[in-house]
Chain A
Amino acid sequence: MADNKLSGFLAMIRRPSAKYSLLSLLVVGFFSGIFFWGGFNTGMEATNTLEFCISCHEMRDNVYQEYKKTIHYTNRTGVRAICSDCHVPKDWTHKMIRKIQASKEVWGKITGIIDTPEKFEAHRLQLAENEWARMKANDSRECRNCHTFDAMDVEKQKLRGSKMHKIGIAEKKTCIDCHKGIAHKKPKGMKEEEDE
């Protein structure tokens, strides 16, 4: 009985419409597309806001408090980089891939893997290493959304940064090779990387 109903429904949606004009179908389809696509993207963008990220106490009580003390939160120019600026790719394809990967974090939230400061500290190194590996693999793409060697005038930098950036450019280093722990505390027990 149920099988009959399902096959009847499938047959109906496959059958050309005798009731609605092609124009009506196209118009309805067009606006429905905008509605659903727009809704999907709006929903996805909502998960890119600072407010969304710190709506979980795991982020709000740990990494957010550390980030608030750094130059990416407050600085003389008034430009702020929020969580997603560094941790979520800007372009759609990479963003979708990252969002799908991030769905694992929902499971982490449900199981409470880092729901106390002690648990967070116990996982800090692993969490940081995951993110460093991601940034290293994509040539610090999210850093480079704002900072590029092309636009960087190393002569205007402090001496220590200037000298190190010259080495970095010459050796084709990527931002995360040196700039670890700039927005959050450096984890204890970091492994020492060999210079390539």
Chain B
Amino acid sequence: MNKSIVSAAVAGVLFALGSHAAIAAPDWSKVPKRDVHVFHAGVTPIEWATKKSDHSGTAGMKKGETCVGCHEEKGSLNFNFKRLADKELEPKGAPKTMSFPVSVQAAYDAANLYIRLTFKAPAGGADKGDKDNEVKATVLFADAKVPQADQYGCWQTCHADARTMPGADDKKTKYTKEGAYELIQWASKGNKVSDGSVGGERKMSGGAAGAKAQAEKSGDSYTVTFTRKNPGEGKAVPFGVAIHADHSHGRFHHVSLGYKLGIGADGDIKATKQ
């Protein structure tokens, strides 16, 4: 009897500790929010962005300017969305909402990095290629071998010959020419988490980030919390966000520009130490 009480007590303590470990997530009320605007980028892969006749900003990029440095302004993006929605850059048709804010919070402890995204996924998409998932949220982290990752963000994975681009092979995924990105994705159907990578090709599993995700929907607002291994204190990691809203797939996402996530280091978004 006593033994069973002791066992139950021990089990209770362990369970409590376990639960505590599972929800060792930070006190988000104490972590600052940084609004990052995600947008429908149309057909503007890295080849477009680095071609002077398409993008006159290449002169700035060659001098080390970042996408954010020119295009994030007054808490929003200063793109010519009319141009991005025009059939020349979006032959399939643009979504009704070209851009929306994603509130990003980041925190870390010795073991993990936590990223929390809060957003309202808009309806009115032009592509419904993912029948299963209403919404997907993805974060990418570049490794040090990706050239100019801190300038170009996820665009180093985005190519004109990748699937869903006009005339591209449907089996060719996004890829990098050098270096790789860690890819962590939460998908709404079954709260599925993918821990993958983008290197020579995009893989939705086999990642080393030890990724977990929790998501809540409150009204029309989603909160997705990613937990992954801490890449290392003192690092500023190139980081980007993509939201596939309204059953969209492939390139029909809303993406952020590239930001530096400072983990005990300077960055566009600074993770709060726990």
Contacts and interface: CB of A to CB of B under 8 A. Distances in A.
Given A160-B70, A160-B71, A163-B69, A192 B53 contact: yes
B52 interface: yes
A190 B60 contact: no
Nearest to A190: B53
A180 B59 contact: no
A168 B56 CA distance: 11
A195 B51 CA distance: 12
Report the interface size class on chain B: 10 to 19
A133 interface: no
Contacts of B62: 195
Contacts of B60: 163-164, 167
A164 B51 contact: no
A159 B71 contact: yes
Contacts of A167: 59-60, 63
B57 interface: yes
Contact of B59 (A159, A178, A186): A178
Interface in A153-168: 158-160, 163-164, 167-168
B56 A163 contact: no
Report the interface size class on chain A: 10 to 19
A118 interface: no
Contacts of A168: 59
Contacts of B65: 163
B53 A160 contact: no
Contact of A159 (B53, B63, B70): B70
A189 B63 CA distance: 26
| Of B52, B62, B69, most A-chain CB atoms within 10 Å | B52
A150 interface: no
Nearest to A194: B52
B220 interface: no
B52 A192 contact: yes
A180 B55 CA distance: 11
B138 to A, nearest CB: 26
Interface of A: 158-160, 163-164, 167-168, 178-180, 186, 190-193, 195
- 10 residue pairs, one from A and one from B, having the closest CB atoms: A160-B70, A178-B56, A190-B53, A159-B73, A158-B78, A163-B70, A167-B59, A163-B60, A159-B70, A160-B78
Given A158-B78, A159-B73, A164-B57, 5 more contacts: A160-B73, A167-B60, A178-B56, A193-B52, A195-B62
